[in-house]
Amino acid sequence: MNIWYYANPERFAGLARTLLPWTMGLALILASLATVWGLAIAPPDYQQGDAMRIIYVHVPAAWMAMFVYAVMAVSSALAFIWNHPLADVAAKASAPIGAVFTALALVTGMLWGQPMWGTWWVWDARLTSVLILFFLYLGYIVLWSAIEEPARAARAARILALVGAVNLPIIKFSVDWWNTLHQPATVFRMDGPTMAPEMLTPLLIMGLAYNLLYVAILFMRMRAEIAERRLRTIRLGLEPAGS
């Protein structure tokens, strides 16, 4: 697929309209499958018992928190280098979704931490860096809304997204660099996952479901954004400056 073919907002909106029900439907089906599998079929953890089942909500949310920011950073770079007209729209539409995933990861992490670590919150490297990620999302959203002229806001937001991307490797490797309370990576490691396959499979399905959900919501938000821009253009065209 050529990214320039869909640079035309109308063409992209059409594609999004076609794909939306499929991605959303598949996301819901996979999410229900993974929920049943994770809650009822997968075995409980030998140490943590049933409490570890929150992993099926927490871990995919944390993955998505980072993935969505990575999408924002990459599309900001695309916008920055090639001025791709939809890249800014994608980044802007992603930010609130990413912020919600990050908040979900933080909240479920706290709920999990309370029974397991005996505390809701510790200033551990992973937790702190994810919290910073949350604030980066907020700053990005605020910057968009603070600058009135969209073209200008887009250019400022690109730079912010790229600068903030420095935080991503810090989050990913925080658990390896600093020996912290949060457990080290168990799924994405060089020597393969260290998780039992009965637990890993529903987790990966849930991860896929989250991803599809993100894509579906992204399509919805991007369509809304494109429509909003058209409205703005029409309105500006009808009402001369000053009125």
Partner 1 sequence: MRTFLAIIWRDVILGIRASGGAALSAAFFTLILVLVPFGLGPGPATLQAAAPGLFWMAALLSTLLGLERIIQPDSEDGTMDLVRLSPLPLELSALAKIIAHWLTSGLILTVLAPLLAPLLNLSFEAAPVLALTLLLGTPALSAIGTAMAALGSSVQRGGMVLALLVLPLNIPFLIFGSSAVASAQAGEDPGQALLLLGAASLIAMVVGTIAAAAALRIGDE
Residue numbers at the binding site for partner 1 (CB under 8 A):
80, 128, 132, 135-136, 138-139, 142-143, 146-147, 149, 152, 155-156, 159-160, 162-164, 166
Task: State the minimum distance, in angstroms, from the CB of residue 19 to partner 1.
Answer: 33
Element (H, E) at 151: helix 150-164
152 vs 189 by CB, closer to partner 1: 152
Ramachandran angles phi, psi of 45, nearest 5°? -70, 145
The residues near 150 (Cβ < 8 Å, ≥ 6 apart) are 229, 232
User: CB of 91 within 8 A of CB of 72?
Assistant: yes
* Tokens 């794909």, located at residue: 19
DSSP-assigned beta bridge partners for residue 195: none
User: CB of 120 within 8 A of CB of 114?
Assistant: yes
2 vs 145 by CB, closer to partner 1: 145
36 vs 159 by CB, closer to partner 1: 159
The 10 Å Cβ neighbour count of residue 215 is 20
Task: State the minimum distance, in angstroms, from the CB of residue 196 to partner 1.
Answer: 35
Task: State the minimum distance, in angstroms, from the CB of residue 174 to partner 1.
Answer: 11
Task: State the minimum distance, in angstroms, from the CB of residue 76 to partner 1.
Answer: 11
125 vs 206 by CB, closer to partner 1: 125
